[in-house]
Amino acid sequence: MKIYNTLSRRKEEFVPIEEGKVRMYVCGPTVYNFIHIGNARPMIFFDTVRRYFEYKGYQVNFVSNFTDVDDKIIRAAKEEGVDSSVISERYIKECKTDMAGMGVRPATTHPKATEEIGGMIEMITTLIEKGFAYEVNGTVYFRVRSFPGYGKLSGKNLDELESGNRTLLVTGEEEKEDPMDFVLWKPKKEGEPFWESPWGQGRPGWHIECSVMSQKYLGEEIDIHGGGEDLVFPHHENEIAQSEAASGHVFSHYWMHNAFLNINNVKMSKSLGNFLLVRDISKQYDLSILRFFMLSAHYRSPLNFSPELMEAAKSGLERIQNGLVRLRDEAENCAEVGADQGAVREAAIRFRAQFEAAMDDDFNTADAIAALFELVKFANITDPAQTGRADWDALRAAALDMAGVLGIEEPKKELLDADIEALIEERQAARKAKNYARADQIRAELADKGILLEDTKEGVKWKRK
């Protein structure tokens, strides 16, 4: 399995630190608004990475943070006249709703920066003790020149950085030993959230959060660290400096970065005002279509969002889902032993291999989707009556596994009115017999298929969601 490592600028064979296990950390959103579709790209892609590792039999410890202390959150809180935590809690909740809609599974742990301040103070203290950081008037800075590997991820040269930074020095930062040094802890300002620390009341810088949360939940050395390509510098470069200076060894073995999402071929950004929220998209499309659209390109290629491409994604996804339905519903029409002499089973093996080859090549989801399209095309022209049931099932299992990695669900079987009514009757009988467990089970089963029950005086009524 090959992964493009931003650190070495080439594809490398993936070798986990611990056999059969993957420890990965992905930088999560700053929660001051609904997430936009740019934020959705790393969420969807790294969820797919995680799913593929699991498909390969790895146990994945996947950590993704919420940055819930930040200037933008503080500004939004001031505008609304509420506490910062009101803003961050609201948008964490909304973000989770969007993630669920996009089929992004919750991470193993979603730490919040504000709940990890103690760990940040500890790491900063260690960095000061080791000479990698210093305090001036309540601000703690990382001493960039003290860390020999600085620049190795972004390929930046210290002297170039230095001359660039000198002209960029902002007021209040003249106290730095070196213009390149970055903030680990800053003193509080009036009306801002703050924590007690050995350097006075204040709050952490952004970069230290990820170093600390990653170390706490995954250990000092991790397999994969990911995020959007805008994070390479300075965020990830600074994370490496902090973590490796504190621990004395390698922080992350592989660094993965997704390219940006553009809108109508223009970079999507808040300042240009051309960003789209995931929530806006959900009003027009099922978010599974947004997910499919994102995976239709390789993650290291820029991706352009347009209504035409979303329509294409919609019909592509439908084609796959119809194929999954056919594989499910036609299974009962299969022969005991197929007249096709195992051709379907062989095809299942071939499509699976094609899919794995694509995913093993730095998660080429575009080619992986192509393999699934080919499988579906094959399934559509395969006659179940000529196919042995076990062979058909092998093809179906391959389709479901591949779809599962991509986060594509098999559509739920439509329940006919008569089936629903029969289940409701069975539920009434179960209740009469005081078999409440079965009655609840039926209600849950129906709810799962989008049927809501309402117990009224006139009896049980139902409706489709």
The dihedrals phi and psi of 321, each to the nearest 5 degrees, come to -65, -35
**Nearest alpha carbon to residue 103 among 61, 57, 51:** 51
Of 230 and 346, nearer to ligand AMP (C-beta) is 230
Interatomic CA distance for residues 179 and 273, integer angstroms: 32
Q: Which stretch binds ligand AMP (CB under 6 A): 22-30, 47-55, 94-102, 215-223?
A: 22-30
Cβ 449 vs Cβ 415: under 8 Å: yes
Query: Which H helix or E strand runs over 11?
Result: strand 10-13
Of 245 and 439, nearer to Zn ion (C-beta) is 245
Residue 268 partner contact from ligand AMP, Zn ion, none using kind-dependent CB cut-offs of 5 to 8 Å: ligand AMP
Residues 404-443 that bind Zn ion (CB under 5 A): none
| CB-CB neighbours of 247 under 10 Å | 16
For position 42 contacting ligand AMP by CB under 6 A, the verdict is yes
Shortest distance (Å) from residue 270 CB to ligand AMP: 9
Of 38 and 323, nearer to ligand AMP (C-beta) is 38
For position 34 contacting ligand AMP by CB under 6 A, the verdict is no
For position 268 contacting ligand AMP by CB under 6 A, the verdict is yes
Query: Which H helix or E strand runs over 428?
Result: helix 417-432
131 φ/ψ sector (left φ>0, alpha ψ -120 to 50, else beta): left
Residues 181-210 that bind Zn ion (CB under 5 A): 210
For position 194 contacting ligand AMP by CB under 6 A, the verdict is no
3-state secondary structure of 303: strand
Q: Which of 111, 205, 227, 234 binds ligand AMP (CB under 6 A)?
A: 227
For position 135 contacting ligand AMP by CB under 6 A, the verdict is no
Alpha carbon separation from 360 to 25, 202, 216 (Å, rounded): 20, 45, 29
**Nearest alpha carbon to residue 399 among 331, 317, 330, 323:** 323
> Dihedral angle at the C-alpha atoms of 32, 35, 38, 44, nearest 10 degrees?
130
Site string for Zn ion, 313-342 (x = CB under 5 A): ------------------------------
Shortest distance (Å) from residue 206 CB to Zn ion: 7
3-state secondary structure of 112: strand
| CB-CB neighbours of 130 under 10 Å | 12
How many Cα atoms are found within 13 Å in the side-chain-facing hemisphere of 236?
A: 28
For position 29 contacting ligand AMP by CB under 6 A, the verdict is yes
Residue 210 partner contact from ligand AMP, Zn ion, none using kind-dependent CB cut-offs of 5 to 8 Å: Zn ion
Shortest distance (Å) from residue 426 CB to ligand AMP: 48
Q: Which of 3, 22, 26, 27 binds Zn ion (CB under 5 A)?
A: 27
For position 261 contacting ligand AMP by CB under 6 A, the verdict is yes
For position 6 contacting ligand AMP by CB under 6 A, the verdict is no
Q: Which stretch binds ligand AMP (CB under 6 A): 90-98, 258-266, 285-293, 342-350?
A: 258-266
Cβ 43 vs Cβ 95: under 8 Å: no
Interatomic CA distance for residues 381 and 360, integer angstroms: 28
Interatomic CA distance for residues 465 and 449, integer angstroms: 9
- Site size toward ligand AMP, by CB under 6 A: 15
Q: Which of 162, 192, 230, 360 binds ligand AMP (CB under 6 A)?
A: 230
Of 211 and 354, nearer to ligand AMP (C-beta) is 211
Residue 194 partner contact from Zn ion, ligand AMP, none using kind-dependent CB cut-offs of 5 to 8 Å: none
Interatomic CA distance for residues 263 and 275, integer angstroms: 8
By CB under 5 A, name the binding residues for Zn ion.
27, 210
By CB under 6 A, name the binding residues for ligand AMP.
27, 29-30, 38-39, 41-42, 227-228, 230-231, 258, 260-261, 268
